[in-house]
Chain A
Amino acid sequence: MAKLFAVTILVIAIISAIPIIRNTWHPVEDVSTHGQAIDDQLSDTMWEAGISFLSSQLLLAWFIWRFSGDRPGEKTKTFPGGAKGLVAAAIILVGVEVFALGIFGVKAWAAIYFTPPGADALPVQVQAGQFAFYFRYPGPDGSFGPIHPDQISEAQANFYGLDTTHDQDSKDDIVTAEMAIPVNHEIRLLMHSKDVSHSFYVPALRIHQDFVPGLDLQLHFTATKVGRYEIVCSQLCGLGHYNMKAYLSVLSQQDFDDWLKKQAALQ
């Protein structure tokens, strides 16, 4: 039975590796400028993880195969080098490997979080609330009007609680249920939560950031390919969490300008 078990471990390990090798399931295509570093990091990690996984399962299977059952008259043996060699291997091989991953990974992280947005990044605000995203563009005056939480009313479609009567800046703000951005143009995303914790996850853009109620956060990114992508909420926010999503359209500059004009007319 031991030999059967050893073979089973090996077969399971190989079967598990096949979809990875064949890339059957993989992240959606990356359309961001910073995503390549993340994808490279993922690929490096996959190699290291794959080698660690397969070699350790193989070693386990091999030893189970080889050293099961009583071998009468034979003494039990000790692994050559004893524990010292294995401890050294763990520290050196694994330690170096994971530290390398960690250090190289900082670059990908830094590209998103430790670099400021450019001066002409287009500001877009996203508000997350149970259970929808709403987006706001600042309009020609380039500034967002203040949010009045006490005036937020879904019933009256005043999602941001804007007071267009008294606040000059709010008058030209454009609020939409879908997000659109121009391609190859940096976006400065301002994140605001209306109620509980949510998250802004756009796999195609390699963006993933939780909203923090009470703390407005900022992200920046640039999309490189025209297309229609999905924004999904990934932080449990209540019963409608599964359904909380929005579409992101990446458009040519011309199409984006047209779209924005159309949205402005609908306000």
Chain B
Amino acid sequence: MHDSAHAAAHHGPPTSFIRKHVFSLDHKVIGKQYYGLGLVAVFIGMVLSWLMRIHLGWTNAAIPGLHLLSKTGAPGDVMTPEYYLQVMTMHATFMVFFVLTVAPFAAFGNFFIPIHTGAEDMPFPHFNMMSFWTTFVAFCVMLLSFFVGDGPTLGGWTQYAPLSALGPVAGPGQGSGVIIWATSIGIFCVGQLFGALNFIPNILDLRCKGMSMWRLPLPTWAWFITSCMGLTSFSVLMPAVVLLILDHVAGTSFFVPSNLVINDQLQPHSGGSTLLWQHLFWFFGHPEVYIAIVPGMGIVSHVLITNMRKPMLSHRVMVYSMGALAVLSYMVYGHHMFVSGMNPVSSILFSFPTLLITIPSTIIVLIWIGSLYGAKIRINAASLFALGFISLFITGGVSGFFLAQPSIQILLHATYFVVAHFHFTMAIAAIFGIFSGTYFWFPKMWGRMMNDTLGKIHFWLSFIGVYAIFMPMHYLGLAGNVRRYQSFVVDYMQPLIGVHQFITIAALFTGAVQLIFIYNFIHSRFWGEPAPDNPWQGTSLEWSIPSPPPHDNFGGRHVVVYHDPYQYGVQSSTGDYVMQDSPEKVNTVNEEP
């Protein structure tokens, strides 16, 4: 008889070092590899942001050693205008793709989806291994752009045409820099598709006995929804970058219209559509930001439930709301293009779904807050970051009210108000979700406990720090401070430079604070206290196996699930909770119908 536990491609434990730690088929190793990649990428992205912030506060400052990073970008260690833009583009690219899509989604998802579903491994372990290494190759290619030609592309992570499509004549980094960027992103898309290829069939087909869809924990639902988004959005980004590369290397004119003149030279393109790039890019780009945040919502829900000792007010409403966010995310992308020159009627049409998407977001926040009512909240590093996520997401979401309206975007488009909005939602809320998941799942993933005191210090300083960095950006935006400027020579922006300097100090401080996390992570990895199987008295399947789990997750046992994932606040032999795979009947009727 063929059990779901063995439906995953059966592979015995590896023996060689290479098979164990490098080219591993084990989803747990792949998840940790993704996590490591995310850590390296976030460090790079953060350092790049420090360079940006120093330059913005003190434009003519010499940053020691900067000339080592770039042959031409920093003569005398002073950043040139083009180098600022190149650093900015790389900061955003590394963060959005190699941190926010990798860490909360690919890293934790790979590790925990098979465990949450009660499976031995992902259904296609070879494709899974390829998904990590493909992503790794994409990462290396992107890094390469720093060292080739005149450096990385300077067109922003959004790479608007024709600036991105015209080639070197458009500016430094617009030749090889764009081609490398586009190639890296194309490879990244392939890696993502290999990932979705595993996540979705695992969740749909490899659930163990008794594990219905509604019994899946919330992170797995979040990863499922995110995989569906990734599948349908990255497969649109790939054609876009293919067309962009062709415009560069094959002389086509998909995005470049006729009669463009640069440096008094008529450009040899004709007939392309500038707005076509924006439509293709943002059709991907908006779901991408939900790909960045939905896993965090799932993780935060999971961490909160365990630390509140009660389930969410409504499991189903959480799932439906995340699903609604995903579906609506495809209908709102035009809000990035309100003043782009597309038909102004379209702007109005896009603004309504954008306003509408407030509703599922609000439902999710209210369910979180409502679930806190009557809870017994345990305060530890993981739960603090989870609670912090809620506060940050509220702030980020509220600024969305403004940006959803075309008439208000006339004032706020392309200003620091937008920068504040997406940093609150993506950069800090999502990162707090990653931290929460890390503090929560570190014992399971590495078999040791992290230092909770250091974790709390990390939280406090980060929470205050990120508000200090990004809240003032709203005010800058209201005052009309345009974004993507390397320095402020505009008259009406002069009084704002002091605010920038404040932000820079806050950013450098908060960046330094992250060293506490790095220290804690590394120290705990090798010398942390050995972790028990279930340090948080959790109920989902990951807590029913050893920390770290054996190669086949459940030690050959055929998992049977008897309960919904969050049986807390019940009387049982274990305390106030019942684990999902415990045959013990639940005394209080807490089950979802």
Contact = CB atoms under 8 A, between A and B. Distances in A.
B369 A60 contact: yes
Contacts of B272: 214
Contacts of A70: 376, 378
Interface string B357-385: 01100110111011111111111000010
B339 A83 contact: no
B366 A206 contact: no
Nearest to B476: A25
Q: Quick one: which of B171, B370, B395 has the most chain A CB within 10 A?
A: B370
A212 interface: yes
Nearest to A207: B410
Nearest to B482: A234
A109 B406 contact: yes
Interface string A40-69: 011001101100110011011001100111
Contacts of B387: 5, 60, 64
By Cβ-Cβ distance, the 9 closest A-B pairs, closest first, are A214-B257, A77-B374, A83-B314, A108-B407, A212-B341, A239-B82, A113-B344, A25-B475, A242-B485
A120 B309 CA distance: 71
Contacts of A1: 379, 384, 456
Contacts of A82: 313-314
Contacts of B266: 149-150, 152
A76 B575 CA distance: 14
20 contacts: A5-B384, A5-B387, A8-B463, A16-B471, A27-B478, A49-B399, A56-B369, A63-B369, A63-B375, A64-B372, A69-B379, A87-B317, A113-B344, A196-B170, A206-B410, A208-B339, A214-B259, A214-B274, A236-B156, A241-B486
Given A27-B478, A106-B348, A194-B261, A242 B489 contact: yes
B280 to A, nearest CB: 15
Contacts of A94: 358-359, 362
Interface of A: 1-2, 5, 8-9, 12, 16, 19-20, 24-28, 37-38, 41-42, 45-46, 48-49, 52-53, 56-57, 59-60, 63-64, 67-71, 74-79, 82-83, 86-87, 89-91, 94-95, 98-99, 101-102, 105-106, 108-109, 112-114, 129-130, 149-150, 152-155, 161, 194-197, 199, 201, 203, 206-215, 217, 230, 232-243, 245
A56 B482 contact: no
Contacts of B480: 27-28, 201, 203
A82 to B, nearest CB: 6
Nearest to A111: B407
A98 B401 CA distance: 7
B363 A63 contact: no
B463 A149 contact: no
B373 A78 contact: yes
B479 interface: yes
Interface stretch (B158-166, B187-195, B240-248, B284-292): B158-166
A46 to B, nearest CB: 8
Given A25-B475, A49-B399, A90-B363, 20 more contacts: A16-B471, A25-B478, A25-B499, A45-B401, A63-B369, A67-B308, A67-B374, A69-B379, A76-B375, A77-B374, A78-B313, A94-B358, A98-B401, A98-B404, A109-B347, A196-B163, A201-B480, A214-B274, A240-B81, A241-B484
Given A48-B401, A83-B314, A213 B475 contact: no
A234 B416 CA distance: 11
B446 interface: no
Contact of B355 (A56, A90, A98, A203): A98
A56 B358 contact: no
Contact of B475 (A5, A19, A78, A215): A19
A181 B120 CA distance: 73
A142 to B, nearest CB: 24
A106 B156 CA distance: 30
A15 B84 CA distance: 32
A41 B408 contact: yes
B523 to A, nearest CB: 22
Nearest to A193: B260
Contacts of A83: 313-314, 317, 367, 370
B390 to A, nearest CB: 6
Contacts of A232: 482, 490
A238 to B, nearest CB: 4
A56 B367 CA distance: 12
B339 A199 contact: yes
Nearest to B484: A236
Q: Quick one: which of A59, A63, A243 has the most chain B CB within 10 A?
A: A63
B429 to A, nearest CB: 13
Contact of A12 (B261, B317, B406, B467): B467
Given A26-B478, A53-B394, A209 B405 contact: no
B165 to A, nearest CB: 9
Interface in B134-166: 154-156, 160-163, 166
Given A41-B407, A108-B407, A149-B260, A53 B375 contact: no
A79 B376 contact: no
B274 A215 contact: yes
Nearest to B264: A153
A214 B273 contact: yes
A38 B407 contact: yes
Contacts of B261: 129, 149-150, 152, 161, 194-195
Contacts of A210: 339-341
B273 A27 contact: no
B172 interface: yes
Contacts of B569: 75-76
Contacts of A95: 356, 358-359
Contacts of B262: 130, 195-196
A105 B351 contact: yes
A245 B492 CA distance: 12
B333 interface: no
B509 interface: no
Nearest to A3: B379
A194 B272 CA distance: 15
B368 to A, nearest CB: 8
Contacts of A105: 351, 405-408
A197 B160 contact: yes
Given A82-B314, A130-B262, A194-B260, A63 B372 contact: yes
A238 B395 CA distance: 32
Nearest to A112: B410
A242 B488 contact: yes
B258 interface: yes
